[in-house]
Copies of this chain bind each other. A is one copy, B any other.
Amino acid sequence: MPRLAKKDVLRADQFSKDEIALIMELATTYETALSEGRVLDVMKGLVLSTLFYEPSTRTRLSFETAMLRLGGKVISVAEAKSSSASKGESLHDTIKTVEGYADVIVLRHPQIGSAEEAAKATDKPVLNAGDGAGQHPTQSLLDFYTITKEKGTVDGQTVVLAGDLKNGRTVHSLALLLADYDVRFVFVAPDGLRMPREIVDRLKANGTDVKETEDLTDGLAEGDVLYMTRIQRERFADPAEYDRLKDSYVLTLALLEKAKPGISVMHPLPRVNEISEDMDDYSGAAYFRQAANGVPIRMALLALVCGRA
C-alpha cells in the first residue's frame, strides 16, 4: 500500500518526485473511474471535517466532493470564525476536539503556520487548504496535474507565470514545485511586482532557465503554458503606473494571436477581468478544467493520508 512520508499535507515542497508521481497516478485512476461512472467506496466509514476560518467555496466544495466521491462522509464548518474560536478557544484545542469526531481534517486559516500548528496537535492527518500568505499545497498539485493533462508531461515545457508575481502564493509554490523538473520559466510582471529575488536565485542555482520580462507578449510567444494571476490596483504605489500597465496584463482572443500555437491558459480563479470572457471558447483555455482537477487531486491526497489508497 503506497504511503506518503509525512502524515499531513502542509507544504507544496514536502513531496519527493516519487510521491508527486504517485499522487498524479492515483488522481488519474480516480478521474478515470469517475468518468466511467464507477461508484467508489475507498473511504467508506471515514469522516472528513472541513474547518474554514476564511470562506472559500471553491476549495471547500472541492475537498468535500472528493471525500463524498470516495464514499466517505463530511462534517463541515464553512465559517469557523463564528463558532468556538469566537469564545476564545485556541486552534490547538479546536483541533483536539475535532480529532475526536473526524478521521481527517482540512483546515483553511488566515495565519501563516496555522496548518503546521494544527498538524502538531493531532495524530490524525491534516490537509492545509491555505494558511494565509503561507502555503496552499493542494492548489500547486492540481496545477501540476493540469499541466500534465493538458500537455502530456511537465518536462520540456516553457511555463509563463504572469501578473502579480510578488504577492502570489500560488505562483511561488508552483515555480518551486516545477523546479525539480525539466521546465523553463518566463516570468512576466510589472517592475514592482516581480518574482521575489530569492525564488529566482533558487531556481537559477538549481540550473533552471529563467527569463524575466515586463511584456506579456514576450511570454505569449514562447509559452507552452501561460499561468495568469490577477494584478490588483492597490498593490501599486503609483496609480499612474497601474493605469499604464493594467491593459497589457489582460488576456484577450486578440492578444492570443501573438501566442505560440496550442498554448494552455491557466488561472487559479476567481478571475476578475485579467482573462476576457471571449477566451472561454478557446480550446486551450484550461482554467475551468484546472478547477475541476482539484477533485481527483484531493481524492488522491485524502486516500493516501488515510492509508486507503
Measuring CB to CB, which residues of chain A are less than 8 angstroms from any residue of chain B? Answer: 37-39, 44-45, 47, 49, 55-58, 61-62, 64-65, 68-69, 73, 75-80, 82-84, 86-89, 92-94, 96-102, 269-272, 277, 280, 288-289, 291-295
Note all chain B residues with C-beta closer than 8 A to A102. Answer: 61, 65
Are B45 and A57 touching (Cβ within 8 A)? no
Residues B69 and A84 in contact, CB atoms below 8 Å apart: no
Q: How many copies does the complex hold?
A: 3
Residues of B contacting A83 with CB < 8 Å? 55-57
A87-B44 Cα distance, complex, nearest whole Å:
35
The residue that A62 contacts in the complex, of B58, B101, B291, with Cβ under 8 A, is B101
Q: Are A44 and B55 in contact (CB under 8 A)?
A: no
**A78/B75 in contact, CB under 8 A:** no
Assuming the contacts A78-B79, A79-B78, asked whether A97 and B291 have C-beta atoms less than 8 A apart, the reply is: yes
**How far is B87's CA from A58's CA once the two chains are assembled, in angstroms?**
12
Indicate which residue in B64, B77, B271, B277 contacts A57 across the interface (CB closer than 8 Å). Answer: B77
* Chain B residue, CB-CB nearest to A83: B57
In the complex, the answer to whether A84 meets B101 with C-beta atoms within 8 Å is no
Cα separation A47 to B74 with both chains bound (whole Å): 13
Asked if residues A58 and B84 are in contact (CB atoms below 8 Å), the reply is yes
Complex contact A75–B64 (CB within 8 A): yes
Q: A39-B45, A65-B101, A82-B79 are in contact. Are A88 and B56 (CB under 8 A)?
A: no
